[in-house]
Amino acid sequence: MSSETLGRSPGVASPRGPAGAGSRKRPVVQRVFGKNPLGALLSTPYLIFLAVVFAYPLVFAFYMSLHDYFFSAPGAVVDRPFIGIDNYVAALTDPQVLQSFRNVGVFLIINVPLTVILAIVLATALNRVVHFRAFLRVSFYVPYVTASVAVVAVWLFMFSGNGLINNVIGPLAPDPSWLINPTLAMPTIALYVTWKQLGFFILLYLAALQNVPNELYESASTDGAGPIRSFFSVTVPGVRPATALVLMLATITGANLFTEPYLLTGGGGPNGASSSPVFVMYQEGLQQGKPGFAAAIGVVLVIIVLTIALLENRFAGGKEE
Q: Report the site for another protein in 49-108 (rule: CB under 8 A).
A: 49-50, 52-54, 56-58, 60-61, 64, 71, 74
- Per CB under 8 A, the list member of 162, 171, 172, 321 interacting with another protein is 162
Out of 258, 269, 270, 283, name the contact with another protein by CB under 8 A: 258
Nearer to another protein, 258 or 270 (CB): 258
Stretch that binds another protein, among 7-15, 89-97, 172-180, 288-296 (CB under 8 A): 288-296
Say how many C-beta atoms besides its own lie within 10 A of residue 43's C-beta: 11
Gap between the Cα atoms of 54 and 108, Å rounded: 26
Q: Does 317 bind another protein (CB under 8 A)?
A: no
3-state secondary structure (DSSP) of residue 263: helix
Question: How many beta carbons lie within 10 A of that of residue 229, not counting itself?
Answer: 13
> Residue 247 interacts with another protein (CB under 8 A)?
no
Residues whose CB is less than 8 angstroms from the CB of residue 241 and which lie 6 or more positions away in sequence, other chains included: 208, 318, 319, 320
Half-sphere exposure of 8 (CA within 13 A, CB side): 16
Minimum CB separation from another protein for residue 253, in Å?
9
User: Judged by CB under 8 A, which stretch of 83-91, 104-112, 171-179, 257-265 contacts another protein?
Assistant: 257-265
**Residue (of 189, 166, 169) closest to 114 by Cα position:** 189
Q: Is 45 in the site for another protein (CB under 8 A)?
A: yes
Considering only 28, 138, 236, 311, the residue that binds another protein (CB under 8 A) is 138
Cβ distance to another protein smaller for residue 17 or 71: 71
CB 273 within 8 A of CB 190: no
**Residues of 9-18 as b/e, b for ≥16 C-beta within 10 angstroms?**
eeeebeeeee
Return the number of the residue (14 or 129) whose C-beta is nearest another protein: 129
- Candidates 7-15, 43-51, 108-116, 181-189; binding stretch for another protein (CB under 8 A): 43-51
Q: Which of 179, 180, 186, 204 binds another protein (CB under 8 A)?
A: 204
Backbone torsions φ then ψ of 9, nearest 5 degrees: -65, 160
Q: Is 266 in the site for another protein (CB under 8 A)?
A: yes
Nearer to another protein, 14 or 49 (CB): 49
Q: Residue 21 or residue 228: which is nearer to another protein going by CB?
A: 228
Q: Longest C-alpha distance within the chain, in Å?
A: 95
Residues 166-195 that bind another protein (CB under 8 A): 167-168, 195
Count of residues that bind another protein according to CB under 8 A: 112
Which residue in 90, 92, 158, 173 binds another protein (CB under 8 A)?
158
Site for another protein in 209-238 (CB under 8 A): 210, 214, 217-218, 220-221, 224, 226-228, 230
Question: Pick from 136, 233, 240, 283: which binds another protein (CB under 8 A)?
Answer: 136
The separation between CA 266 and the C-alpha centre of its own chain, rounded to angstroms, equals 24
DSSP string, 16-57: GGGGHHHHHHHHHHHHHH-S-HHHHHHHHHHHHHHIIIIIHH
Between 98 and 217, whose beta carbon lies closer to another protein? Answer: 217
Question: Hey, how many other C-beta atoms are within 10 angstroms of the C-beta on 47?
Answer: 11
Residue among 285, 303, 215, 223 nearest 64 (CA): 285
